[in-house]
Structure 1
Amino acid sequence: MTGESGGRPRVLIVEDEDNIAIALDYLLGREGLDHARLATGLGAVERIRAERPDLVLLDVMLPEVSGYEICQQVRADGALAGVRIVMMTARGSALERRKALALGADGFIAKPFELKELRDELHRLLDPEGA
């Protein structure tokens, strides 16, 4: 997997649940991805603008600002068009999935997730075309 700049892809995790964040940290580390975490929605859009991660793993239910609001704001900013977003929620209904995709998310993972499912989604979004 390579990032937009040709280096290792950078992933921003926006997740308030520590146990989920620990599992994501483990998986992303094993995949060789640079990653950082924010535990609240507050300031997430500003951080995405500043860091331009290749991918944001974005929880729907966050303190301060919801993942849906963050997704909407990122998609409204043309300069962030290259940032991919995977929404994550424990409410994995078809309605939630449709809402996330309608707001511009590139993917959707229901929690609790299988590590293989998330790994496949990471590869789908971060592997160069034709890989």
Structure 2
Amino acid sequence: MDPRTCLIVDDSRIIRKVSRRIVEGLGYEVDEAADGAEALASCSAALPDVVLLDWNMPVMDGLTFLRRLRGLPQGDRPKVLFCSIESDPDRIAEALAAGADEYVMKPFDGEVLASKFEEAGMT
């Protein structure tokens, strides 16, 4: 069985580093992307099992990336976990409507992330 893979998409290197440590602890192999365009190129090459996705990024934001990901062949397969400081219920609903599977408020810790992975059936 192939190892499970996770793509962490965030323009903050620190957030990517912290998230990587948590996700690797859950048994995933991790790749990183600094924006939606980089993430889309990565997904076009090989779809991950899970995408941890920031909302506000330069070049291409998380919502645009998510809509494009879902348009790719097999693009409905990866579970997408939006991680954002966005707390407006309308924005959260918009993310879920665009195809996100779960939503996590920043800042989060390993326990919160692990429980979200579990809720989305990713553990």
TM-score under structure 1 normalisation?
0.85
Q: Tell me if the contact between 1:92 and 1:109 (Cα under 8 Å) persists in the aligned partners.
A: no
Aligned to 1:65: 60
Partner amino acid for 1:57? L
| Displacement over 3 Å in runs of 4+ | none
Equivalent of 1:23 in 9, 18, 23: 18
Aligned to 1:112: 107
Identity of aligned residues (%): 24
| RMSD of aligned Cα (Å) | 1.4
Measure, in 1, the Cα distance between the counterparts of 2:29 and 2:51: 12
Equivalent of 2:76 in 67, 76, 81: 81
Q: Tell me if the contact between 1:11 and 1:57 (Cα under 8 Å) persists in the aligned partners.
A: yes
Q: Tell me if the contact between 1:42 and 1:63 (Cα under 8 Å) persists in the aligned partners.
A: no
- Structure 2 gaps of 5+ residues are none
Q: Tell me if the contact between 1:92 and 1:111 (Cα under 8 Å) persists in the aligned partners.
A: no
Aligned to 1:3: none
Partner amino acid for 1:7? D
Q: Tell me if the contact between 2:86 and 2:92 (Cα under 8 Å) persists in the aligned partners.
A: no
Deviation by residue 1:4-57 (Cα, 9 ceiling, x = unmatched)? xx3221000001112211210111122221001111222321211211100010
Equivalent of 1:37 in 32, 40, 43: 32
Measure, in 1, the Cα distance between the counterparts of 2:63 and 2:94: 8
Aligned to 2:122: 126
Deviation at 1:78, TM superposition (A): 4.2
Where 1:80 maps in the other structure, the secondary structure is coil
Measure, in 2, the Cα distance between the counterparts of 1:14 and 1:61: 10
Partner amino acid for 1:102? A
Where 2:35 maps in the other structure, the secondary structure is coil
* Matched pairs, number: 122
Q: Tell me if the contact between 1:49 and 1:80 (Cα under 8 Å) persists in the aligned partners.
A: no
Aligned to 1:49: 44
Measure, in 2, the Cα distance between the counterparts of 1:77 and 1:90: 27
